[in-house]
Structure 1
């Protein structure tokens, strides 16, 4: 599956945009995958940030449901929802910056 090594910044918390410094502090690096997921009903796009390119485990570093992708300013903007343990699905936005991959 196609993947891109990048740094992801989470831009929202509790459905509100974070200040720039707080968003910078959320930086996580990993392999970004953007794909279609089909469950009951219509298929939708989702994005995952994985610790390893071929990670098989059930837990990605980050997961964004119903993700909409926009290319801008040398990076990607992903908008969607993150499911949380309480059962709610707050809005979330990621700023994705492609970076050189890790040494193999």
Structure 2
């Protein structure tokens, strides 16, 4: 789906709300719940430039082991693990997702 994603954590620390709101990225949210080809359960999410884009062209770092939660004020909170973290154990990451129409 077309949406704007606001990243809520950086290096494991919560980003201030005004900074997160100022850094939204528009794109196509792709999430799958099973690993393609082998069907193992694993929810991963990617923000891509379009529906047919390759995962290598993600606009922001992907999330692994995701869970979705509706936000009462609007949008979706997508929480998971940042697989690109250089820290161990892996760091939590959350996105605030606002579904939108496709931009011209």
Pick closer, same or farther for the CA change 1:38–1:87 going to 2, 3 Å: farther
**SS of equivalent residue, structure 1 residue 53:** coil
- Equivalences, count: 100
5+ residue gaps, structure 1, are: none
Task: Return the TM-score normalized by structure 2.
Answer: 0.82
Gaps of 5+ in 2: none
How far residue 49 of structure 1 moved from its aligned partner, in angstroms, is 0.4
2:65 is matched with 66
- Stretches of 4+ aligned residues off by more than 4 angstroms: none
Contact 2:48 2:55 in 1 (8 A): no
Per the normalisation by structure 1, the TM-score is 0.82
The verdict on how the C-alpha distance between 1:21 and 1:68 changes in structure 2, with shifts beyond 3 A counting, is same
